[in-house]
Structure 1
Amino acid sequence: MKKIFIPLFAAAVCALSATASTPVYLDDTRSIDERVEDALSRMTVKEKVAMLHAQSKFSSAGVPRLGIPEFWTTDGPHGIRPEVLWDEWNQAHWTNDSCVAFPALTCLAATWNPDIAMLYGKSIGEEARYRGKDILLGPGVNIYRTPLNGRNFEYMGEDPYLASKMVVPYIKGVQSNGVAACVKHYALNNHEVNRHTTNVIIDDRTLHEIYLPAFKAAVKDGGTWSIMGSYNLYKDQHGCHNQYLLNDILKGEWGFDGVVVSDWGGTHDTAEAITNGLDMEFGSWTNGLSNGASNAYDNYYLANPYLSLIEQGKVGTKELDDKVRRILRLAFRTNMDRNRPYGSICSPEHIEAARTIGEEGIVLLKNSGKVLPINPKTVRRVAVVGENALKMMTVGGGSSSLKVKYELSPLDGIRHKFGPDVEVVYARGYVGDPTGEYNGVVTGQNLKDDRSADELIAEAVDVAANADCVIFVGGLNKSAHQDCEDSDRTALELPYGQDDVIRALARANRNLVVVNISGNAVAMPWVNDVPAILQAWYLGTESGNAIANVITGTVNPSGKLPMTFPVKLDDVGAHSLGLYPGTPRNDGSKIVDCKYDEGIFVGYRWADRNKVKPLFPFGHGLSYTDFKYGKAKVDKSSIGTSGKLTLTIPVTNTGDREGSEVVQLYISDLKSSLPRPVKELKGFKKVKLAPSETAEISFEIDRDALSYFDPSLHAWVCEPGSFEALVGTSSADIRSKVRFEVSDTLADNK
């Protein structure tokens, strides 16, 4: 039977004709709560239940009789996913659903710039709005617990404070377009292997200090209109219908008034879905035939099974009305808001935004001998080596795979930037994944190469030996077991024999730059042999231009690592303690228990506590200029826990070119009732300085920066005693310290 769509205005006319006066829910001069209650009072139970579950792969029903439109969702956090068929994952083969691919969220986090996060959110929100989407399924803020997590590239790093500060403006930017951000994956989805069956065992303090703050900020400060549940279990309940996470914390303690959306296939039980906080169900597996139904979606857990329980009197409608209130509230914020902007897509402004985000997120990890930047006027021949110099990275990786208007490769970006007077020669170096297809989107690239590893290396060495400089572009890709949804990496090392290629290039030419494209940390056993290293992430549409602009110095790099790069896996708590990826139960349930016994000591907190020297520390990133830090000062030496103090520190650009520095504030509790990290990030500011310019950077330190979560009180506690404020350019490069005292104790359970 052919599906008939009734335009919103026509449905609204039908609704108006049935009443003597304009219904409150259509009157946008009334409060949203008034409109919600009026619309709710006019709906039948069957209409209410229909709003709780999908009607297609990416949409859910409205109420045509009342002029309430259906909801359209879209992946993902880095660009608007291409259209698929109504009831299939296959491509719909539209010709107008290409998008701008923005850099992955690891790159956004690496900018350490909330203004850039706002630009990102506003830009991607405009693309979603133009495509008629009501819910953008992103951003992701799950904490980087292991560098093997295949989905780390979609998240914002290892530190809860950094992720919190970067997610809020992203949300506000998206929602300024009348499109709901859907922050994911709530919560504890920190690896992909066994993601549907992993039961996380974690103490309450670690949960609240490390894994929940970014979600809390998204709700309390960002005002996100929706949240996506996670696949994994916690307290033996799946994240998409979890009493403690969804009802007690999210909707109870934090007062979340939006919609909880299931991850696709994350719903498992009707009773739990009814009572444990889920509002909208998507992607549940059913073939639509076993129960004799013509529409598979009618068999979802919150569909006919729920309606049947109500009709039999086995459950009431209290939970139903709460769910529908939330969905209606979402409607009035999005597709029922007549004043929301129209959006735009693939605009010059969005392309510029993508390039700017990429440029600002690229991290200069090493620059011995100042090999970088490379002035195109001083070289005649440049060798570019590596598959990632030409492989498209926007296709693949799971639900964030995109169909882009274009993707400029690093090789083409370098050729364009160096111009016609410089010969840019290319050698493959290694063969990784020659394929280029995901979910029906095809790159059109044929990267098949049957040469042996020795032949490829020999060619690369020959090219390198006859060049003024060499740029190796490698790393990971978005294939399975690299950086990809539903699978984790199998090792920290670079795949496809790249270490051998890099070592050979280092012997052939001392002017070697390694550009690592990845969403994760990688091992670098050749680090002492390579003079210059760039961490370039997945940069999307403008990848080639962003990389070339940094290599040539058109852009002075200012990115900082949002995660620690360990030397080896044993330098990571989850691996050192043998906790990843968990232990299967012996009860035949297929459940895998994963204990987070490293507790709050994640990332640099683990390295500090165990005196482990990382390959590159959290917050690290160099510049083509130099910055001198003065002495940090506080405006008072003692405060009460209800007060605050101001720390100031002068920072001077001592180099010969303009550059931006991220000034980082860490707090150390010198004596605490509970174990605390050596230091914790509690502030950062990015400042642009001209040569010889000095800026006075100030930070406000209040009880939030000094508190820990006391599980016995279920409250945040700021204790009296001595604290130290540490200011530096990374977690391992502290430039100035100052002590102060806290005079009294205060607990806050907010």
Structure 2
Amino acid sequence: MKNLLISCLLLVAATTTRAQLLPVYLDNSKSIDERIEDALSRMTLDEKIRVLHAQSKFSSRGVPRLGIPDLWTDDGPHGIRPDVLWDSWRDAGKTNDSVVAFPALTCLAASWNPALARIYGKSLGEEARYRGKDMVLGPGVNIYRTPLGGRNFEYLGEDPFLISTMVVPYIQGVQSNGVSACVKHFALNNDEANRHNLNVIVDDRALNEIYLPAYKAAVQKGKVWAVMCAYNYYNNQPMCTNGKLVVKKLKGEWGFDGVAITDWGARTTTDDAVKYGLDMEFGTHTDGLHKESKNAYNNYYLAFPYMKGIINGRYGTKELDEKVRRILRLFYRTNMNPDRKTGFLCSEEHYATARKVGEEGIVLLQNQRNVLPLNLQKTRRILVVGENAIKMMTVGGGSSSLKVQHEITPIEGLKARLKGMKIEVDYARGYVGDTTGAYNGVRTGQDLREYRSEEELLREAVDKAKGADYIIYIGGLNKSEHQDDEGYDRLTYDLPYNQDRLIEALARANKNMVYVNISGNAVAMPWKSRVPAIVQGWFLGSESGKALAAVLTGDTNPSGKLPFTWPARLEDVGAHVLNTYPGTWRPDHKLIDEEYKESIYVGYRWVDHAKTTPLFAFGHGLSYTSFKLFDLRADKTAMTREDRITFTVKVKNTGKVAGAEVIQLYIHDDESSLERPYKELKGFQKVYLEPGESKEVSITVDNDALSFYDDKAGAWKSENGNFEALVGNASDNLPLKLKFQLK
């Protein structure tokens, strides 16, 4: 017994000694701040400089001497991008980097389901962890200002409240894996054309009420660990080194404690990077702009030029240490986090999430004569028309291009759903669009080459349409240049490839026509009155065909709602009617000035302001059942600024099938010292109901929901007076109203 006691005491002593010898920066029992300061005190100048900038396309250096690993980033707002070569954008040719493609973020936003956004983010983070990534370069929260924006498909719509509500759980889901989200592109990156040369001119009200709230929510509510700065300029300063937005707003007013990183190839200088808050510099070229030079990362602005400036006394070390502190904090949250899990890749749960998001995000825009869902009992032949029915959409579009384990096309999904039934699924291509199917060395493997003429394709489609029970036309946009594609804006609001002519001809040939629009953007629909059923199908990712088939056949009751206004024409959009887009080149041809003259009137706010009629309103989306909203009431008729008010409404499923409705609450201010939009979204909730079932939905608002930004005072402000709550299921369908006061 005595020997055993001695052995135990020796073991305790040895353990204590090892714990005492463990450096603070490696001691998990210490706070992150303590560990940061200890690690910082041990780093040489060279080591501090090295963590500030890239060492390859997607990685930055750790501190090998101290056992701190390199940091690995990857594009991935809706899927983890395939690995590329160390010094090139070309695919690395790996066979273990195929992933699940989740629906693009416009589809996620259209679900109006924050709980689903968290599952989406968690699944994405798990795929990132398995692939060894420490940071996902997403999500994107820039505002849908014009339907010509080439990158709108990667964003979450037009309304700051909707975006803020959806982005917070997405970030929390990603970061629950010990993987950093990186919200982008901060800020005012609302179109892609000439994005490196664009100087945005916008008033402070619009900046704070429309363009910044989602970033603020990402920082203060989502606790995001990284923010990517945009290519464009604001106030004649590049966004990556913007004193007003990065230093004063992001790191000052909002209290952001993470890292501010460049977009790949963003403009800066060493002086500005040191002074205006840039923490990490990534890029594709020696200085982020010009000819690529292999292994040129040491020449980045925050590399040797910065070190040389410190050595010769041009710069002090205060700013350097602050940047390194933020980067060390990122390390401790990600690659130095002892609790993070391995992750999963291409799991059944991830595919189920992708399909669920797709099904909930698909929007039934129009359904005259109840053409949908397809009546399978009385159907013998379905004609599918359109290139997008057979085209894989996960490759292309810019940085969000993916290499997937599988992608089920719309026609494959429909055929699989109808297998075993006595229903023929015929196909006619109808038009030829993008046949490439390749991006940066990743190929879909499809051969979409077509040698028949436009007339031959049209004739075949019309001839086949005449004998079909249904035509399902699957068209819209794709991810090639000047469509939904990074670096390019659309050149026209019209559908490409002369699709309108084909759609008109098919509508004349068969009255049971369903148009499925694949895109992340609204498109012109001059034939809307002649096509009974219209579905917005988005870019749905790996499970695209299954999700679409489920909605078309009625296996899933559509519940998606538009996250942006769908204008009838470009002239109904403020940015276009005021001739502010795409801006004007300066005389020296160095920058383009684009003034946001429409100010706070974006999307449905512009619709109310200009009294236009959209093709489909913000928040619009139909169902295969019907709902009744009634008995709107509030827990009080007046509130103070420290108070809250809760609105409750009853919802009943008055149809014959189960379904979900999104209850939307907008606030109208009766009188204000500054001009305000007629109404603004301030609350929503998705509710699921069986046939005949009723539920009560409660939405609570506080003083923030009644406030506006006073640009003269430079602060948010609410004013005493009368307000009105407007409740319904779309921005143009708000039948329930209730007045209340702010005292």
The reply to whether TM is greater than 0.5 is: yes
Matched, 1:486 2:480: no
Matched, 1:732 2:732: yes
Instruction: For residue 314 of structure 1, report the CA deviation from its aligned partner.
Output: 0.9
Cα deviations across residues 162-215 of structure 1 (Å, max 9, x unaligned)? 000000000000000000000000000000001000000011111000000000
Cα deviations across residues 203-230 of structure 1 (Å, max 9, x unaligned)? 1111000000000000000000000000
**CA distance in 1: counterparts of 2:639 and 2:670, whole angstroms:** 16
Match of 2:184 in 1: 184
Matched, 1:362 2:367: no
Counterpart of 1:513, as a letter, is V
- The answer to whether the Cα contact below 8 Å between 1:513 and 1:532 also exists between their aligned partners in 2 is yes
Instruction: For residue 632 of structure 1, report the CA deviation from its aligned partner.
Output: 1.4
Match of 2:612 in 1: 612
**CA distance in 1: counterparts of 2:287 and 2:192, whole angstroms:** 25
- The answer to whether the Cα contact below 8 Å between 1:109 and 1:562 also exists between their aligned partners in 2 is yes
Instruction: For residue 127 of structure 1, report the CA deviation from its aligned partner.
Output: 0.1
CA distance 1:93–1:712, change in 2 (3 Å): same
Match of 1:305 in 2: 305
Match of 1:559 in 2: 560
Instruction: For residue 293 of structure 1, report the CA deviation from its aligned partner.
Output: 9.4
Q: Which moved more, 1:521-530 or 1:636-645?
A: 636-645
**CA distance in 1: counterparts of 2:521 and 2:657, whole angstroms:** 31
Matched, 1:196 2:174: no
**CA distance in 2: counterparts of 1:708 and 1:20, whole angstroms:** 55
Match of 1:115 in 2: 115
Match of 1:279 in 2: 279
Matched, 1:580 2:546: no
**CA distance in 2: counterparts of 1:291 and 1:93, whole angstroms:** 24
**CA distance in 1: counterparts of 2:504 and 2:294, whole angstroms:** 61
Instruction: For residue 653 of structure 1, report the CA deviation from its aligned partner.
Output: 0.4
Instruction: For residue 287 of structure 1, report the CA deviation from its aligned partner.
Output: 8.4
Counterpart of 2:486, as a letter, is E
Match of 1:322 in 2: 322
Match of 2:508 in 1: 507
Match of 1:137 in 2: 137
**CA distance in 2: counterparts of 1:103 and 1:378, whole angstroms:** 32
SS in 2 for 1:274: helix
Cα deviations across residues 517-558 of structure 1 (Å, max 9, x unaligned)? 000001100000001010010000000000000000000000
Match of 1:391 in 2: 391
**CA distance in 2: counterparts of 1:342 and 1:189, whole angstroms:** 34
Match of 1:453 in 2: 454
SS in 2 for 1:704: helix
Cα deviations across residues 594-637 of structure 1 (Å, max 9, x unaligned)? 00010000000000111100000000000000000103111221
CA distance 1:617–1:197, change in 2 (3 Å): same
RMSD: 1.6
- The answer to whether the Cα contact below 8 Å between 2:397 and 2:480 also exists between their aligned partners in 1 is yes
CA distance 1:292–1:333, change in 2 (3 Å): closer
Match of 1:462 in 2: 463
Matched, 1:599 2:599: yes
Match of 2:243 in 1: 243
**CA distance in 1: counterparts of 2:568 and 2:393, whole angstroms:** 26
**CA distance in 2: counterparts of 1:649 and 1:298, whole angstroms:** 61
CA distance 1:292–1:675, change in 2 (3 Å): closer
Instruction: For residue 377 of structure 1, report the CA deviation from its aligned partner.
Output: 2.9
Match of 1:544 in 2: 545
Matched, 1:438 2:439: yes
SS in 1 for 2:735: strand
- The answer to whether the Cα contact below 8 Å between 1:284 and 1:300 also exists between their aligned partners in 2 is no
Instruction: For residue 699 of structure 1, report the CA deviation from its aligned partner.
Output: 1.2
Counterpart of 1:664, as a letter, is Q
Cα deviations across residues 378-402 of structure 1 (Å, max 9, x unaligned)? 2111100000001110000000000
Cα deviations across residues 140-160 of structure 1 (Å, max 9, x unaligned)? 000000000000000000000
Match of 1:12 in 2: none
Match of 2:8 in 1: none
Instruction: For residue 292 of structure 1, report the CA deviation from its aligned partner.
Output: 14
Counterpart of 1:697, as a letter, is V
**CA distance in 2: counterparts of 1:84 and 1:407, whole angstroms:** 21
Match of 1:258 in 2: 258
Q: Map residues 640-679 of structure 1 onto 2, 5 A cutoff.
A: 640-679=640-679
CA distance 1:728–1:291, change in 2 (3 Å): closer
**CA distance in 1: counterparts of 2:130 and 2:441, whole angstroms:** 23
- The answer to whether the Cα contact below 8 Å between 2:152 and 2:521 also exists between their aligned partners in 1 is yes
Q: Map residues 150-161 of structure 1 onto 2, 5 A cutoff.
A: 150-161=150-161
Match of 2:572 in 1: 571
**CA distance in 1: counterparts of 2:729 and 2:464, whole angstroms:** 38
CA distance 1:217–1:454, change in 2 (3 Å): same
- The answer to whether the Cα contact below 8 Å between 1:574 and 1:598 also exists between their aligned partners in 2 is yes
Counterpart of 1:344, as a letter, is F
Counterpart of 2:542, as a letter, is T
Instruction: For residue 268 of structure 1, report the CA deviation from its aligned partner.
Output: 2.3
- The answer to whether the Cα contact below 8 Å between 1:49 and 1:307 also exists between their aligned partners in 2 is yes
Instruction: For residue 487 of structure 1, report the CA deviation from its aligned partner.
Output: 0.3
- The answer to whether the Cα contact below 8 Å between 2:230 and 2:266 also exists between their aligned partners in 1 is yes
Match of 2:5 in 1: none
Instruction: For residue 267 of structure 1, report the CA deviation from its aligned partner.
Output: 3.3
Counterpart of 1:553, as a letter, is G
CA distance 1:176–1:19, change in 2 (3 Å): closer
- The answer to whether the Cα contact below 8 Å between 2:104 and 2:540 also exists between their aligned partners in 1 is yes
Counterpart of 2:689, as a letter, is L
Counterpart of 2:69, as a letter, is P
Give the 4+ runs in structure 1 shifted more than 4 A. 17-20, 290-294
CA distance 1:630–1:305, change in 2 (3 Å): same
**CA distance in 1: counterparts of 2:99 and 2:284, whole angstroms:** 28
TM-score if structure 1 supplies the norm length?
0.95
TM-score if structure 2 supplies the norm length?
0.96
Counterpart of 1:263, as a letter, is D
- The answer to whether the Cα contact below 8 Å between 1:668 and 1:725 also exists between their aligned partners in 2 is yes
Match of 1:400 in 2: 400
SS in 2 for 1:271: helix
**CA distance in 2: counterparts of 1:659 and 1:19, whole angstroms:** 58
**CA distance in 2: counterparts of 1:372 and 1:167, whole angstroms:** 32
Instruction: For residue 701 of structure 1, report the CA deviation from its aligned partner.
Output: 2.0
- The answer to whether the Cα contact below 8 Å between 1:293 and 1:299 also exists between their aligned partners in 2 is no
Instruction: For residue 291 of structure 1, report the CA deviation from its aligned partner.
Output: 13
**CA distance in 2: counterparts of 1:461 and 1:512, whole angstroms:** 12
Counterpart of 1:716, as a letter, is W
Match of 2:81 in 1: 81
**CA distance in 1: counterparts of 2:369 and 2:677, whole angstroms:** 35
| Consecutive unaligned residues in structure 1, runs of 5 or more | 1-16, 744-750
**CA distance in 1: counterparts of 2:123 and 2:214, whole angstroms:** 21
Match of 1:376 in 2: 376
SS in 1 for 2:103: coil
Match of 1:8 in 2: none
**CA distance in 2: counterparts of 1:499 and 1:262, whole angstroms:** 41
Match of 2:24 in 1: 24
Counterpart of 1:330, as a letter, is L
CA distance 1:440–1:293, change in 2 (3 Å): closer
Match of 1:475 in 2: 476
Match of 2:630 in 1: 630
**CA distance in 2: counterparts of 1:227 and 1:561, whole angstroms:** 27
**CA distance in 2: counterparts of 1:379 and 1:600, whole angstroms:** 49
Cα deviations across residues 104-155 of structure 1 (Å, max 9, x unaligned)? 0000000000011001000000000000000000000000000000000000
Counterpart of 1:415, as a letter, is K
CA distance 1:325–1:691, change in 2 (3 Å): same
Q: Percent identity?
A: 62
Instruction: For residue 702 of structure 1, report the CA deviation from its aligned partner.
Output: 1.1
Match of 1:174 in 2: 174
Cα deviations across residues 695-736 of structure 1 (Å, max 9, x unaligned)? 111111210110001112221111011101000110001120
- The answer to whether the Cα contact below 8 Å between 2:106 and 2:520 also exists between their aligned partners in 1 is yes
- The answer to whether the Cα contact below 8 Å between 1:267 and 1:301 also exists between their aligned partners in 2 is no
Counterpart of 2:649, as a letter, is I
CA distance 1:719–1:20, change in 2 (3 Å): closer
Instruction: For residue 690 of structure 1, report the CA deviation from its aligned partner.
Output: 0.7
- The answer to whether the Cα contact below 8 Å between 2:284 and 2:292 also exists between their aligned partners in 1 is no
CA distance 1:285–1:347, change in 2 (3 Å): same
SS in 1 for 2:631: coil
Cα deviations across residues 313-357 of structure 1 (Å, max 9, x unaligned)? 111011100110000000000000111111000001101100000
